[in-house]
Structure 1
Amino acid sequence: MTCEAENMASPRRLVIKIGSSTLTTSESSIDYAYLDALADQIARVRAAGWQPVIVTSAAIACGLEALGIAKRPSDMPSLQAAASVGQSALSAAYARAFAAHGIITSVVLLTRRDTADRTAYLHARDTLSRLLELGVVPVVNENDTVSVEQIRFGDNDTLAALVACLIDADLMVILSDIDGLYDANPAKVAGARLIEKVERIDRRIMGVAGDAGSVVGSGGMVTKIKAARVLMVAGIPMVIAHGRRPDAVVDAAAGRSVGTLFVANERPHEITPKKLWLALGDAARGAVIVDEGAHRALVERGSSLLCVGVTRVDGRFDAEDIIDIKDETGHIVARGKVAFASDEVELACGRTREALLGNRLLAPLAERPLVHRDELVVFE
């Protein structure tokens, strides 16, 4: 079945994330021929009834090229200056390529601060939705000019997953410099095989994800898997494909195999927009490790997390912070908003509910969940 044959009355929403190494040449300059080919693909999926949003990288690389800086600097002011120069060049390149198809593009720059605040998160959602209604192709990037380490997404895979959740996308496609997820690092292991379909992200999948790949970008396979983990819970399928594969976007939108497909789960009723924001909109400030009983209660029964199920605390956090919840092997099973500070939780570790209730200072930790199920996202 062709992409055109699948045209539907109700528009479907598609997020396409393009990595720096895909969008640039070996000299880290914009590959205009590639951008023209991409614009042609996106024009075709639009004609088939999709509303695409692009999440792009490469602003810093473009800025370094324009400024004549051969080696990527390490200091933040130089990187932000390059991003400022490069964002203009990158936006102009997208506008020119898509204008050939009569398509208007827009620029949407986000930082984690914009999404950690729920009000700003909702405003960003409304803006993107209105742009799509107007027939615009939004081009989203991290605002590297003002981002600092504490408010950076750090990789555009996370940003793309956030955008996909913001607009309630039907599909997300990551165009990378690798064909997909392999069962071993293909650069190091001869005979490594492509995993064409992933239905569950477990320890094995996380283990084969490996380390960051290209030095041109800041992400790697691990960040892609983490993005997929949230999207699968959100009911949004994700594809990792080689960006240089002809018609990768068109084929992915048509449901043809182009790399690795992460199959979306049937979206549970409790996975609300608020929970998706908790999962992606802010960085985890720390973690707690839970015992097997608490792990089962979270995964099998959808319970809140109680202090008595926590065996130890990892890092420092305050009440109302976002934390990761790990099993005894260190595998992240959930994320949520914590009700107590790490100092308080440490005092509760190893104590029974009765022991907590018998201590006037610790009694509140027995009476309230550490993480309430309404503010909890379970990844398994």
Structure 2
Amino acid sequence: MEEAKQKVAVIKIGSSTLTTADGQADQMFLADLAHQVWRMRNKGWGVVIVSSGAIPCGLRTMGLPIKRPKDMPTVQAAASVGTRVLLAAYDQAFSPYSILTSLVLLTRRDTADRNAYLHARDTFLRLIELGVVPIVNENDTVSVEQIKFGDNDTLAALVACLIGADRVVIMSDIDGLYTANPQTNPDAEIIRVVDRITPEIMQGASGAGSSVGSGGMVTKLTSARVLGAAGISLVICHGRAEEVIVRSLEDEPRIGTLFSAHEPRHEITPRKLWIALGNSTKARITVDRGAAAALLGHGKSLLAAGIKHVDNDFDEGDVLDVIDMDGFVIARGLAKCSSEGLNKDSGVVIHRDELMVFE
């Protein structure tokens, strides 16, 4: 009988979950994390951890205020120092279980090129096969705006798609997705399961909640849409909840919000992932209902004839959001022409091969 494929989870841990108020890696939290990972590995799960926390750890070690610096050199210096501190903390937590950890630092450049993407995938899969728990972070020491992921929610989604994970768990300082902002609306209720991310859900998303993190609910929902298309489920939950990893992977008892995955999985190319999970778009293009239907249901390219409105100037090669007539982002892609060229060319504006459709 053929051996069952090992299930793989990507666990993203936010800075506010991993570190204390004074910028230290929380060793009690990490000890409990390691114990839960050990338990789930014994149940057949491979685990990859996408970890924030290097910058606050580095700031504390250097004696600087525990607040994300505004200048890039200080951010990068803190990341350089903090990565060493953070990895030592992980090693200390996992060593009692004889679990090896490794460090994988990535930039968008490492995943935009197909060959680099495939090498990164093979490395991850081999580490998992060898029983290692990779600790992944953006390479903040060398990243600049053009090659940054922007936040680790995005990075976790990309890693999950890269290795064909079964589930992503985002451990954050929020309990999950609510019907409204629970900080301002006492009637807000948590949504336990989301089968489809609607325009109403996107409109209700709020911004980042902590001073040391960089990701908000909008980026989490964008990641959820890409993961869903790739056939990967996502749980967003509070990182300090009891038995958080065990409950997130076993769904019993339910924790946080589960975003279910589409079946069958869609094949998402490295280039489409790079486009879809980028952190900046230059313009929003509104398309008519016929064009939206062609993109969503028939795998077509976007033609100039289907465009109703453009909200900003753009150049060839810029990343564009494609909006339907109801104002909902349905796709993201690379422009094959400039906004000025739209009036001169009635051909393809975004080719299907460079268009990520959010279904």
2:187 paired residue number: 191
Contact 2:108-2:274 within 8 A present in 1 as well: no
- Is the CA contact (8 Å cut-off) linking 1:115 and 1:281 kept in structure 2? no
Q: Is the 8 A contact 1:282 1:322 kept in 2?
A: no
Aligned to 1:301: 298
Does the CA-based 8 Å contact 1:284-1:321 persist in structure 2? yes
Deviations 1:356-375 (A, max 9, x none): xxxxxx3xx43xx3223333
* Percent pairwise identity: 56
* Cα 1:198–1:24 shift into 2, 3 Å: same
Which moved further from structure 2: 306-315 or 59-68? 306-315
CA deviation vs aligned residue, 1:259-294 (integer Å, no higher than 9, x gap) = 100010113556455544442267544442212221
Q: Please, what is the CA RMSD of the aligned residues?
A: 1.9
Q: Aligned AA for 1:379?
A: F
Alignment of 1:118-133 (within 5 A): 118-133=114-129
Moved more, 210-219 or 229-238: 210-219
Q: How does 1:205-216 map to 2 (within 5 A)?
A: 205-216=201-212
Query: Per the alignment, in what secondary structure is the counterpart of residue 350 of structure 2?
Result: coil
Out of 147, 153, 171, the residue aligned to residue 157 of structure 1 is 153
Aligned pairs (5 A) from 1:65-144? 65-72=60-67, 73-144=69-140
Aligned AA (1:47):
N
Moved more, 63-72 or 110-119: 110-119
Match of 1:13 among 8, 13, 17: 8
Which deviates more from structure 2 when the two are superposed, residues 244-253 or residues 85-94? Answer: 244-253
Distance between the aligned counterparts of 2:358 and 2:297, measured in 1?
12
Match of 1:52 among 47, 55, 62: 47
Once the two structures are TM-superposed, the CA of residue 226 in structure 1 deviates from its matched residue by 0.9
C-alpha distance in 1 between matches for 2:113 and 2:336: 18
1:194-273 alignment, distance < 5 Å: 194-256=190-252, 257-267=254-264, 271-272=268-269
The alignment partner of 2:292 has SS state of helix
Superposed CA deviations along residues 63-110 of structure 1, whole A, max 9, x for unmatched, are: 011111124332111111111110100011111111111000000011
For the structure 1 residues 270 and 66, does the alpha-carbon distance in structure 2 shift closer, same or farther, using more than 3 Å as the test? closer
Of 321, 325, 329, the match for 2:322: 325
The residue that corresponds to 1:356 in the other structure is none
Evaluate the alpha carbon distance shift between residue 84 and residue 273 of structure 1 in structure 2; reply closer, same or farther with a 3 A threshold: closer
The change in CA–CA distance for 1:240 and 1:269 in structure 2 (over 3 A counts) is closer
In structure 2, relative to structure 1, the CA distance for the partners of 1:48 and 1:372 (3 Å cut) is same
When residues 227 and 177 of structure 1 are mapped into structure 2, their CA distance, relative to the original with a 3 A threshold, is same
Instruction: Measure, in 1, the Cα distance between the counterparts of 2:145 and 2:10.
Output: 25
8 Å CA contact retained: 2:22, 2:66: no
Counterpart for residue 331 of structure 2:
334
* Cα pair 1:56 1:139 within 8 Å, conserved: yes
**Given residue 263 of structure 1, which amino acid in structure 2 is its aligned partner?**
S
Say if 1:318 and 1:341, in contact at 8 Å, map to a contact too: yes
Q: Is 1:36 aligned to 2:28, yes or no? A: no
1:211 to partner: Cα distance: 1.4
Cα gap change, 1:74 to 1:283, in 2 (>3 Å): closer
AA partner of residue 189 (structure 2): R
Q: Which residue of 1 aligns with 2:289?
A: 292
- Report SS of the residue matched to 1:216: coil
Structure 1-normalised TM-score? 0.88
Is residue 62 from structure 1 mapped to residue 57 from structure 2 by the alignment?
yes
For the 8 Å contact 2:231–2:266, the answer to whether it is kept is: no
* Alpha-carbon distance between aligned partners in 1 of 2:269 and 2:223, rounded to the nearest angstrom: 17
Q: Are 1:374 and 2:353 matched, yes or no?
A: yes
Preserved contact between residue 116 and residue 281 of structure 1 (Cα < 8 Å): no
Compute the displacement of 1:310 (Å).
1.2
Which stretch shifts more, 35-44 or 253-262?
253-262
**Structure 2: distance between partners of 1:147 and 1:201:** 31
Give distance in 2, aligned partners of 1:329 and 1:323: 17
Shift >6 Å, 4+ stretches = none
Cα distance 1:336–1:268, how it changes in 2: closer, same or farther (>3 A)?
farther
Assess if the C-alpha contact under 8 Å between 2:236 and 2:258 holds in 1.
yes
Could you state the TM-score of these two structures normalised by the residue count of structure 2? 0.93
Name the CA distance, whole Å, in 1 between partners of 2:77 and 2:176: 33
Give distance in 2, aligned partners of 1:174 and 1:339.
35
CA distance in 2 between counterparts of 1:272 and 1:113 reads: 15
Structure 1: unaligned runs, 5 residues or longer:
1-7, 349-361
- Alpha-carbon shift at residue 26 of structure 1 (Å): 2.1
- Secondary structure at the residue paired with 1:182? coil
The equivalent residue for 1:4 is none
Q: Quick one: distance in 2 between partners of 1:30 and 1:47?
A: 26
Q: Give distance in 2, aligned partners of 1:79 and 1:276.
A: 26
Q: How does 1:354-369 map to 2 (within 5 A)?
A: 362=345, 365-366=346-347, 369=348
- Bigger Rg, which one: 1
The question of whether the paired residues in 2 share the 8 Å contact of 1:279 and 1:377 is answered with yes
Matched, 1:174 2:170: yes
